[in-house]
Amino acid sequence: MLDRIKASLPSLAPAEQRVGRLVLDDPRAFAKLPVSELAERAHVSKPTVVRFCRSVGYDGLSDFKLKLIGSVSEGVPFIHRSVDADDKTGDVLVKVIDNTVAALLKYRNDASSFAIDKAVEALAAACKTGRRIEFYGAGNSGIVAQDAQHKFFRLGVNTIAYSDGHMQVMSATLLGPGDCVLVISNSGRTRDLMDACDIARRNGATTIVMTATGSPLAAAGQIHLAADHPESYDHYSPMVSRLLHLVIIDVLATSVALRIGPRVQPQLREMKNNLRSKRYT
């Protein structure tokens, strides 16, 4: 959580930056002090303190303090254990799983339910009105986009995934109000994805971005789903960010299915019945 705040500082207003530095200087004290005392120490107004919490992806001061306490005391710290060239299979097994579990638990502590709820609301609205939902990604993120399309089309949604930059730009050009596009990127700096996101937003589509805090893509989207995980620790490290993105897609798909309501259940049941003939008994 503190790394996320550090990454966000340059993109914040000067007054909000002062609040951010106050958090980084003494996070435990920040979590315990009332808003009036926090505002006085940061030389800002009380609404600015709340605005800072929302700017870095939390529902408000109470939600921010709750996550902050969990991050600095009760939460599971993220400790990356690099894979070494002479590691045995058992060592690799433990390190890879530990790194993944730590990243997921860190996300659980840091995630903004407010941002996720906004994304779910937009996606569910597009589903109910028959508008398009599109998923864009490149490289590993392109695979996540395909997984998202697979999960959403089973709900009867008009959806498609693109990993080619030209196709993304062309398809974004055809989107309009009521449509949604979810752009997925670990770095948040891929030019093709930025271009497609900008085009979709100009055409009135709702743009949801799943990417690192403080990245150009994070600022380009209307709804930012922060997915902060450092990569490239060593040559052998798998892309834990891909697994984190897949989990977030699962959260979105499950929440949208619940929003759609009972009408989706008969479709899923019939789909499973039809697939039984494809399996050996």
CATH number at residue 58: 1.10.10.10
Helices 46-55 and 61-69: crossing angle, nearest 10°?
60
Mean predicted confidence (pLDDT) in 68-97: 70
% of the chain surpassing 90 pLDDT: 52
Domain-embedded: residue 97: no
Mean predicted confidence (pLDDT) in 265-276: 83
Whether residues 123 and 66 fall in one domain: no
% of the chain surpassing 70 pLDDT: 93
Does the pLDDT of residue 74 top 50, yes or no?
no
- Number of domains within the chain: 2
Whether residues 58 and 122 fall in one domain: no
Q: For residue 278, which amino acid is it? A: K
Whether residues 66 and 198 fall in one domain: no
Structural domain containing residue 156: 113-268
Higher pLDDT pick, 269 / 259 = 259
Domain-embedded: residue 273: no
Domain-embedded: residue 83: no
Whether residues 216 and 122 fall in one domain: yes
Helix and strand counts by DSSP (H, E) for the chain: 14, 5
Token digits of residue 119: 């994304």
Whether residues 118 and 62 fall in one domain: no
Q: Kindly report the pTM of this predicted structure.
A: 0.71
Whether residues 17 and 151 fall in one domain: no
Domain-embedded: residue 79: no
The pLDDT value recorded for residue 77 is: 45
User: Strand, helix or coil at 81?
Assistant: coil
**Helix-strand-coil percent breakdown of the chain, rounded to 5?**
60, 10, 30
pLDDT-based confidence at residue 233 (cuts at 50, 70, 90) = very low
Domain-embedded: residue 223: yes
The pLDDT value recorded for residue 91 is: 81
Spell 69-92 as b/e; 16+ CB within 10 A means b: bbbbeebeebebeebeeeeeeeee
